[in-house]
Amino acid sequence: MSKIHWGVLGTANIARTQLIPALIRAENSEIIAISSRGSKVHEVAREFNIPRAYEDYDELLSDRDVDAVYIPLPNHLHKEWVVKAAKQGKHVLCEKPAALTSVEAIEMVQICREHNVKFMEGFMYQFHPQHERVKEIITSGEIGEVKLIRASHSYYMENRDTNIRMGKEMGGGSLYDVGCYAIHAIRNISQSEPTVVQAHAEKDPASGIDLSAHGYLHLANGITALFDCSFDMTRRQEYEVIGTKGTINVPFAFRPDFNGQIGLVIVQTAGLTREEKIQGDIFHLEVEHFSNAILNDSRLLNTGESTINNMRVLEASYESIQIGLRVNIGIK
């Protein structure tokens, strides 16, 4: 089996703890290079036996042996380095949120297409098979007609003085960091796009970023959805689908790796409760999916259009927070 040769731009925690180990586990992937702005990159390269270490991102992008790159840089740097990678002919897996505006997202997707490279925003949660199981249950009619979806993602943030997620100019805030998952899950599970949003946020007085946000969405297929996200609440990573005959609850929706990679789908109908435990290594599945898409020139699960649409919902949510009114979402 052929392997895709990967490079990683940066030594972020998510890269060291999740993506690099996943690349090492993947049968169709091999990490051959890593870069960072400084000497720390050599330490990380030694830790994971990565043969090539660069103290400059551009040097890695110039490495002709690198087929694909993973970008876990701060949010405000995503567009710059996705564009640079695409222009060097590298396929790109970029951490979420891929952009800070829909205009940025459109440009990134367009440039990747122009240079014939794959681009995917890294919503790794969706590769866990529990979500396809939820869709199967909905399609079966077991919970009746879906009327409401609620999605929540939060955690209590420590060490706020040093966390880049508190920096407004870096694309900080709970909506960009974890709210994007809740919105993506609503779109993914409903298989419909939001047309209207009304959102509210509690902001940090010093930085101006949203510490918590919650909102209402009306979807094109008539379903209502509610989302909330926060840096000020205990860890929650769940969604619930409410139908006319029952409910589906997914309590480990976004980070099932915190539960030993085991997802849980809880179905309640007519006073009866059924639990289904489903195994899935999300980062491993994400990496193998992306590498397979390159090798087979196949369609990605998370498309460029989906990235743009998710960004439009985030953008409209921020606009609603700013003006205090409902906002129509221009989903194409």
Q: What is the pLDDT of residues 279-330, one digit of tens each?
A: 999 999 999 999 999 999 999 999 999 999 999 999 999 999 999 999 999 7
Q: Is pLDDT at 332 greater than 70 in this prediction?
A: no
pLDDT score at 8: 98
Among all chains, which residue has been given the structure tokens 């955690």?
A: 155
pLDDT score at 331: 63
* Predicted confidence (pLDDT) per residue in 19-39, tens digit: 999 999 999 999 999 999 888
pLDDT score at 264: 98
Q: How confident is the model at residue 129 (pLDDT cuts 50, 70, 90)?
A: very high
Q: How confident is the model at residue 135 (pLDDT cuts 50, 70, 90)?
A: very high
User: What's the CATH number for 127-285+311-328?
Assistant: 3.30.360.10
Decide whether 4-121 matches 127-285+311-328 in CATH topology.
no
Question: Within 48-129, where are the H helices?
Answer: 57-61, 78-87, 102-114
Classify burial at 206, counting beta carbons within 10 Å of its beta carbon; exposed 0-12, middle 13-18, buried 19 or more: exposed
Q: What is the DSSP letter of 101?
A: S
- How many angstroms separate the CA atoms of 133 and 208, rounded? 39
Domain ranges for the chain, please list them.
4-121, 127-285+311-328
* Predicted confidence (pLDDT) per residue in 191-233, tens digit: 999 999 999 999 999 999 999 999 999 999 999 999 999 999 9
What is the arithmetic mean of pLDDT over 124-150? 98
Among all chains, which residue has been given the structure tokens 């059924």?
A: 274
pLDDT score at 330: 76
Q: What percent of the chain has pLDDT over 70?
A: 99
Chain mean pLDDT for the chain: 97
Contacts of 245 (CB under 8 A, 6+ apart): 142, 143, 144, 269, 270
Query: Which residues face 271 on adjacent strands?
Result: none
4-121 under CATH 3.30.70.1070, yes or no: no
Classify burial at 15, counting beta carbons within 10 Å of its beta carbon; exposed 0-12, middle 13-18, buried 19 or more: buried
Q: How confident is the model at residue 158 (pLDDT cuts 50, 70, 90)?
A: very high
Please state the φ and ψ torsions of residue 156, each to the nearest 5 degrees: -90, 120
Q: Tell me the pTM.
A: 0.96
- Report how far Cα 324 is from the mean position of its chain's Cα atoms: 27
